[in-house]
Structure formats: C-alpha cells, structure tokens
Amino acid sequence: MEWLECRPARQLPTASHPGGKLAAAYQFMRRLHRRNGIPYLVGTTYVERHLFDRVGKKGFNDAPFRVLQREANDQVGRAEQTIVVGTADLDTANLLDVPINSPIVIVTRSVFDKNEVLIYESAGHHRGDLVRVRMRLR
C-alpha cells in the first residue's frame, strides 16, 4: 500500500448512501494498493476527524474499514455498501496502469454512527480485469 494523500479534508464528503448528517470535519486519505507490483485498487476515504485523531495515520496502515470495525464498532448504527461497474477516468487509469475508459469496479461504503452522523465514507476503484465475484447459488 502506498499513501498518495493523508490530510484534513478541504471539503466535506458526499455520502454515497442516503440519509444521515455530516460531522464538522473529516480526514481525507487516498491510497494505492499493489500486489506483486501490479496496482489493483485506488482507495479514497473520509474518516470523521475525531475518530482519525484517536487512531492516527499509522493506525490506518491496515484496511480502513477493518480499522473502523475494530475502533468504532460500538458507535456504528448503519453501514451500507454498493458495488457498480464503471470506467476509469484519466487519473484512475494512470494510477491503475490501464487505458482510459477501461472497466473498473467501484465499491462505495458509508458508515453512520448511532446518531446518523457519517463517520466513514469510501470509494474503492478496482481494476476490472482483476476482479472476480464468486458465489454459491445453490
């Protein structure tokens, strides 16, 4: 994992799932993940600022969603995830080393606390050629 950015958010996030309210401040994080030298995921995350301050940047060297489960599970009221297929814009294509408009899988997550305040918002842009979904149907 490579940190691309980690700074106080300059603007508040937009929740990808309806409902809830925004906190006063967030930390913005952007990371690039590789496996065997091949980039496969660009992740953008907003974490409520007090939660980030409690965990610190080093604490987010692990997957942010796992950190959230470990550090704020008792605060979580609602969590939603959506998976869609999209195309890579110029920036995402460059980071993932794929052509512009290549298929990508976009996973968005919104986590709200028990008071319906957004404490975590993320978007993961995965290379479409490396995503496999398997499920048992019967």
The per-residue pLDDT string of the chain (138 residues; one tens digit each, 9 = 90 and over) reads 899 999 999 999 999 999 899 999 999 999 999 999 999 999 999 999 999 999 889 888 877 778 888 888 788 999 999 999 999 999 999 999 999 999 999 999 999 999 999 999 999 999 999 988 888 988
Task: Supply the pLDDT for residue 71.
Answer: 82
Determine the residue type at 76: V
Residue spans of the domains in the chain: they are 2-130
CATH 2.60.120.620 assigned to 2-130? no
| Whole-prediction pTM | 0.91
pLDDT at residue 132, as a whole number: 85
71 is written with which tokens? 């550090």
Find the helix packing angle between 49-59 and 64-72, rounded to 10°.
120
Angle formed at CA 128 by CA 4 and CA 27, multiple of 5 degrees? 30
